[in-house]
C-alpha cells in the first residue's frame, strides 16, 4: 500500500462527486446518515475557518477491454463530502445562530459574532464567501493499492478507535455548566478537577477510570436539582442523554456563583460528611439522586437534627430494598419492589419514573427520620409532609375536591393544633390555600365531614 498526503479544494471534491468519480463502496460503507443539522454545522465550520479532518481516498485505475477507467473511492469522509456537495448545489440553507437558537444550539459567544451566511444557501452567499468556501483546502490521504482487502483493513482501523461516550462529548462543550460538572464529577488528570467527595468518597466512584460515568451522574443530579428549584418540588424531568444534552446547550451561560449552585454544593458537602463509603451497601446512581433531592427538601424547613439519623435511615431503606428484590416473583411482591426497585430498571431516566420512585423514597425516609422539628413554628408542616399528603390525595383538595397545583398546597390540621392536635400525616390534610379552613366553625365542619367520609369508606 502507498499513501500520498496532499490537499484538495472543496471545489475539486464537489466536482469529482458530481461527476460520480468520488464514490463510497456500499459493500462496507454505510449510507448517508448525517442529519440536516450536522450538515449545516459542517458548512458553518468551513465558513468560520475551522479546519476539517483528513479525508481518505482510494485511487483506483482499471483497464478493461482496452479502456482505462480512473476514480477515487471514499474510505473515510463520505458524510463530509456529501454535505459539502449538497450545499454547493443549493440543497439547504444554513443556520441563523440567533433565529435558530433552539435547534442550532450555538454557544453564546458564537451567537454574538457576525454571521453573514445566516439563513442562506450557496447561491445567496456573497461572491467573497462563495470563493472562500470553494477554495478551502482539506487534507487528503490518497491510497494506492491493488489489494481491496488492504483498503477494507484500513477502513476498519480508521473506524476502530474507541468512540467518545456521551459525557466525554459533553466535556468538550463550551460554557460554565461544563466546568461546573467537571468540578463535581471530576477529571483527575486535570489537577483542578479532583471530583467532589460525595462522588469520589461517599459513592466510591472513580472518575479517572470510568469514561465519564461519574460526571454523567453529577450532570443528571444537577439537571434534576436545578429543574426542581426552578419549577417546584412536583417537577421531575427526564435525565436521559437527549435531556442532559439539551440542558447543557440551554445553560451555556450558567452562573456557578448562583444561589442554587451554592445550595447544591452545600448539600453535597453535607452528604459527603454524613455518608461514609463502606458504612453502607453499595450506593447506586438512583440512591445518590434521591438522597440529594431528599436533603434539598429538608434543607430549609427543618432543624438539623435529621442529619444524625440520616445514615441509619438510609441503611434501613437499603435493607428493605434488598429484601424487596427477593419478592419480585412472589404473588404479592413487597411494595419496596413494586413502588421503587422495579422502577430503577424500567425507564429509570424518565421524569415520570423518577417521580414514582422519589415519592415512595421520601415517604419511607420521612418515617425513619422522625421526629422532625420544623424551624418555623407557624408552618408546623414542612415540605416533606406536604409532598407526601399531596400525592396520597392524588393532588386533590380535601375541601373542594378540586385539582391542586404544588405551589397552591397548604396542610391543615384536622384536629386543631391549638387544641393539641398532633403535627402528623394522619392528622394532616392537603388543601388549596383558598380552601384552608379558618376559625372554629369551618375547622369543626371539615373535621366532621372528613370523619364521616373515612367511616363510610372503612369496611365493617
Three-class SS of 180-247 = HHHHHHCCCCCCCCCCCHHHHHHCCCCCCCCCCHHHHHHHHHHHHHHHHHHHCCCCCCCCCHHHHHHH
Residue written as cell 418555623?
A: 376
User: What is the rounded distance in angstroms from the CA atom of residue 267 to the CA atom of residue 271?
Assistant: 6
Range 81-91 average pLDDT: 96
In terms of pLDDT, which residue wins out, 346 or 354? 354
C-alpha dist (Å) from residue 326 to 337, 357, 364, 376 = 9, 18, 19, 42
Neighbour tally for 280: CB within 10 Å: 16
How does pLDDT run across 95-133, given as a tens digit for each residue?
999 999 888 888 888 888 999 999 999 999 999 999 999
From the number of C-beta atoms within 10 Å of its C-beta (0-12, 13-18, 19+), residue 236 rates as buried
- CB-based contacts of 5: which residues, under 8 Å, 6+ apart? 139, 140, 141, 142
How does pLDDT run across 362-401, given as a tens digit for each residue?
999 999 999 888 876 656 788 888 889 998 999 999 999 9
SS3 6: strand
The H-or-E segment that residue 416 falls in is none
Residue written as cell 468551513?
A: 46
- CB-based contacts of 204: which residues, under 8 Å, 6+ apart? 277, 278, 282, 283
Determine the pLDDT at residue 460: 39
Closest CA to 366 of 408, 316, 404: 316
β-bridge mates for residue 331, sequence order: none
- Pick from 104-108, 116-120, 142-146, 211-215: least confident: 104-108
Determine the pLDDT at residue 418: 67
Contact of 219 with 246, CB cutoff 8 Å: no
Is the pTM higher than 0.85?
no
CA atoms within 13 A on the CB side of 306: 29
Determine the pLDDT at residue 162: 72
Determine the pLDDT at residue 13: 96
Scanning 275-404, the segments in alpha helix (DSSP H) are: 285-299, 306-325, 335-338, 351-368, 383-392
Question: At residue 149, does pLDDT exceed 90?
Answer: no
Amino acid at each position: 500500500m502507498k499513501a500520498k498526503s496532499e490537499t484538495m479544494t472543496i471545489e475539486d471534491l464537489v466536482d469529482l462527486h458530481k461527476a460520480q468519480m468520488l464514490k463510497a463502496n456500499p459493500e462496507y460503507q454505510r449510507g448517508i446518515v448525517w442529519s440536516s443539522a450536522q450538515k449545516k454545522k459542517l458548512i458553518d465550520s468551513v465558513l468560520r475557518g475551522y479546519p476539517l479532518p483528513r479525508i481518505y481516498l482510494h485511487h483506483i485505475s482499471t483497464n478493461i477491454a482496452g479502456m482505462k477507467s480512473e476514480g477515487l473511492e471514499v474510505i473515510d469522509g463520505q458524510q463530509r463530502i456529501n454535505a459539502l456537495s449538497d450545499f454547493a448545489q443549493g440543497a439547504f440553507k444554513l443556520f441563523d445562530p440567533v433565529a435558530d437558537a433552539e435547534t442550532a444550539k450555538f454557544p453564546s459567544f458564537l451567537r454574538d459574532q457576525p454571521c453573514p451566511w445566516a439563513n442562506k444557501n450557496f447561491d445567496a452567499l456573497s461572491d467573497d464567501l462563495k470563493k472562500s468556501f470553494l477554495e478551502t483546502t482539506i487534507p487528503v490521504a490518497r491510497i494506492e493499492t491493488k489489494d481491496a482487502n488492504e483498503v477494507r483493513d484500513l477502513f476498519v482501523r480508521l473506524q476502530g478507535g474507541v468512540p467518545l461516550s456521551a459525557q466525554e462529548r459533553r466535556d468538550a462543550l463550551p460554557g460554565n455548566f461544563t466546568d461546573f460538572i467537571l468540578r463535581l464529577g471530576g477529571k483527575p488528570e486535570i489537577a483542578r478537577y479532583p471530583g467532589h467527595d460525595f462522588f469520589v468518597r461517599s459513592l466510591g466512584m472513580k472518575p479517572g477510570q470510568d469514561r465519564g460515568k461519574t460526571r454523567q451522574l453529577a450532570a443528571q443530579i444537577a439537571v434534576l436539582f436545578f429543574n426542581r428549584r426552578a419549577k417546584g418540588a412536583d417537577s421531575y424531568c427526564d435525565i436521559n442523554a437527549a435531556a442532559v444534552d439539551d440542558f447543557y446547550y440551554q445553560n451555556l451561560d450558567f452562573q456557578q456563583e448562583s444561589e442554587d449552585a451554592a445550595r447544591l454544593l452545600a448539600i453535597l458537602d453535607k452528604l459527603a460528611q454524613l455518608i461514609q463509603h463502606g458504612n453502607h451497601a453499595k450506593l447506586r446512581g438512583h440512591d445518590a439522586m434521591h438522597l440529594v433531592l431528599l436533603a434539598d427538601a429538608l434543607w430549609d424547613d427543618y432543624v438539623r437534627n435529621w442529619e444524625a439519623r440520616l445514615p441509619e435511615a438510609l441503611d434501613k431503606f437499603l435493607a428493605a430494598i434488598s429484601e424487596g428484590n427477593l419478592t419480585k416473583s412472589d404473588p404479592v411482591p413487597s411494595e419496596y419492589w413494586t413502588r421503587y426497585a422495579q422502577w430503577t430498571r424500567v425507564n429509570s431516566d424518565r421524569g415520570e419514573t423518577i417521580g414514582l420512585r422519589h415519592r415512595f423514597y421520601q415517604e419511607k425516609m420521612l418515617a425513619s427520620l422522625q421526629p422532625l422539628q420544623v424551624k418555623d413554628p407557624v408552618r408546623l408542616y414542612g415540605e416533606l409532609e406536604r409532598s407526601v399528603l399531596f400525592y396520597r390525595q392524588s393532588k386533590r383538595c380535601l375541601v373542594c375536591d378540586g385539582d391542586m397545583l404544588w405551589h397552591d398546597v397548604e396542610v391543615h390540621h384536622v384536629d386543631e393544633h391549638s387544641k393539641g392536635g398532633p403535627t402528623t400525616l394522619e392528622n394532616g390534610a392537603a388543601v388549596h390555600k383558598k380552601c384552608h379552613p379558618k376559625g372554629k366553625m369551618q375547622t369543626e365542619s371539615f373535621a366532621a365531614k372528613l370523619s364521616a367520609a373515612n367511616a363510610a369508606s372503612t369496611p365493617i
